[in-house]
Amino acid sequence: MANSTKADLIVGIQWGDEGKGKIVDLLAQKYDAVARYQGGHNAGHTIVVDGTTYALHLIPSGVLNPDAINIIGNGVVVSPEALIKEMKQFGDMQGRLFVSENAHMILSFHIEMDKAKEKMRGKKAIGTTGRGIGPAYSEKIARAGFRLGELRDIEKLSDRILEYFEHNKAICDAIGLTCPTKSALLKELTTYAKSILPLLANTTKMAWDLLKDNKKVLLEGAQGTLLDIDHGTYPYVTSSSTISAGACTGLGVSPKDIGNVTGIVKAYCTRVGNGPFPTEDFGDEGDRLRKQGHEFGTTTGRPRRCGWFDAVACKFASRINGCDQLSVMKLDVLDGFDEIKVCIAYEVNGEKIDFMPLDLEDATPVYKTFKGWDKTEGARTWDELPSSAQEYIKALEVLCETKVGMVSTSPDRNDTITL
């Protein structure tokens, strides 16, 4: 392999919403390109700069650096409708946003199917974002999906969609999904083609060329490790490879192309949707975390489930992603707590273990309690942190077997401590 620079990677360590958007935006100021490689508009990445808030779902969080280009890789599932809507806030994106022609599309029937399947699951619902993610990835794996490059021939694409309805007639009838008319389809696809075709590119070659030219490339993960299709809390997961390895398939870079890996973790833990969450706090402290942390989903507005930092899960996630460092977010949300708990082991069937069991549902957390502190909000240097907050961070490093490279103390880009 010819000499080339390596791409750095940002990955969520918990169940998503760790604050990836803030760190990607901060780092992106010094990068030439930012690339998404999996997930879709189920993601909600928030960026706050000088009081202005941006919520991104599909567009990479490098968009606020006018000198950086943004790439949506082949592993992302793209809703043309959502992308067109999101692009509007940033003006003309041509030359600034490149989308893989091989990325699969989320069309309206994927969304209807996602919602219908959730309804059918009843009590066992996953609690998806209802964005059509599962159905779009399912069709991709079943080799029956629709790729963005197909927008080049909408006549042929519309016939394929009609054929899809025919093949899935029984399912469509069961969920009350009516087949669109060809003219309605052509109209819809024409709108998509007009906006999307100018953005299409061979993003794999693009990434290779950037690295060959020694450009700085940042890979932006969506969701989090514990939502990974293979390594997360299956079936309560999303439908993509959310771990760092997902960047290889989702953009077409090799493992050797990946350099520094930063895992993003909250100083506590949250989860949206259903599934096991051993450290969830159902009482006043969970409510307080939700309130102080404004823990309501960026994408769906749902209240997030809140609880304590899980060092066992974090150690696992750090190892599976190959994290060089962690970025601990939202430390300020713990301001004012007298005591802070951290899960340091699980009890499973009467046995104490410090690794992830096959089913997290069986795990009862074993806690260690740390002394709280008054205020960290807005701190920008290590020395500004109260000593008990410093001790907390140092303890996380030991428990997760990974050094902490950054600490975040408010939503604002600048309220970040680099160690």
Nearer to Mg ion among residue 217 and residue 222 (C-beta): 222
133 binds ligand IMO (CB under 6 A): yes
Half-sphere exposure of 384 (CA within 13 A, CB side): 17
Among 17, 86, 101, 114, binds ligand GDP (CB under 6 A): 17
- The amino acid at residue 170 is A
262 binds ligand IMO (CB under 6 A): no
185 binds ligand GDP (CB under 6 A): no
Footprint (CB under 5 A) of Mg ion, residues 296-355: 298
Q: Are the C-beta atoms of 148 and 139 separated by less than 8 Å?
A: no
Phi, psi (rounded to 5 degrees) for 310: -110, 100
From the CB of residue 280, how many other CB atoms can be counted at a distance below 10 Å?
A: 16
Nearer to ligand IMO among residue 299 and residue 402 (C-beta): 299
From the CB of residue 53, how many other CB atoms can be counted at a distance below 10 Å?
A: 10
Q: List the single partner that 217 binds among ligand GDP, ligand IMO, Mg ion, none, CB under 5 to 8 Å by kind.
A: none
128 binds ligand IMO (CB under 6 A): yes
Instruction: Please give the Cα distance from 226 to 244 (Å, whole number).
Output: 12
18 binds Mg ion (CB under 5 A): no
Among 42, 225, 233, 292, binds ligand IMO (CB under 6 A): 42
Among 9, 12, 105, 409, binds ligand IMO (CB under 6 A): 12
Catalytic residue flag (residue 281): no
Give least dist CB 110 to ligand GDP, A. Answer: 22
44 binds ligand GDP (CB under 6 A): yes
17 binds Mg ion (CB under 5 A): yes
Distance, first Cα to last Cα, the chain = 33
E-only strand ranges, 206-359: 217-220, 258-266, 269-271, 305-307, 309-310, 325-329, 339-348, 351-353
E-only strand ranges, 141-291: 200-201, 217-220, 258-266, 269-271
Give least dist CB 187 to ligand GDP, A. Answer: 34
Please provide the size of the chain in residues.
419
61 binds ligand IMO (CB under 6 A): no
Tokens matching residue 403: 């050094």
224 binds Mg ion (CB under 5 A): no
DSSP conformational letter for 293: T
Nearer to ligand IMO among residue 103 and residue 151 (C-beta): 103
Catalytic residue flag (residue 17): yes
- The amino acid at residue 354 is D
203 binds ligand GDP (CB under 6 A): no
Nearer to ligand IMO among residue 203 and residue 242 (C-beta): 242
Binding mask 320-359 for ligand GDP (x = CB under 6 A): ---------xx-xx--------------------------
Tokens matching residue 325: 């460092």
Q: Are the C-beta atoms of 61 and 24 separated by less than 8 Å?
A: yes
Give least dist CB 418 to ligand IMO, A. Answer: 22
Tokens matching residue 120: 């059918």
Give least dist CB 289 to ligand IMO, A. Answer: 16
| Cβ neighbours for 270, distance < 8 A, ≥ 6 positions apart | 14, 15, 17, 289, 293, 295, 304, 305, 306, 307
295 binds Mg ion (CB under 5 A): no
DSSP conformational letter for 386: -
Sole window of 107-115, 248-256, 343-351, 402-410 interacting with ligand GDP (rule: CB under 6 A): 402-410
44 binds ligand IMO (CB under 6 A): yes
Among 36, 45, 57, 231, binds ligand GDP (CB under 6 A): 45
416 binds ligand IMO (CB under 6 A): no
Tokens matching residue 256: 């050797």
Nearer to Mg ion among residue 195 and residue 300 (C-beta): 300
25 binds Mg ion (CB under 5 A): no
Annotated active-site residue in 41, 45, 104, 110: 45
Q: Are the C-beta atoms of 199 and 98 separated by less than 8 Å?
A: yes
Find tokens 């946003």 and name the residue: 97
Strand 404-408 and strand 416-418: the pairing is antiparallel
Positions that interact with ligand IMO (CB under 6 A): 12, 15-17, 42-45, 126-129, 131, 133-134, 222-224, 227, 238-239, 272-273
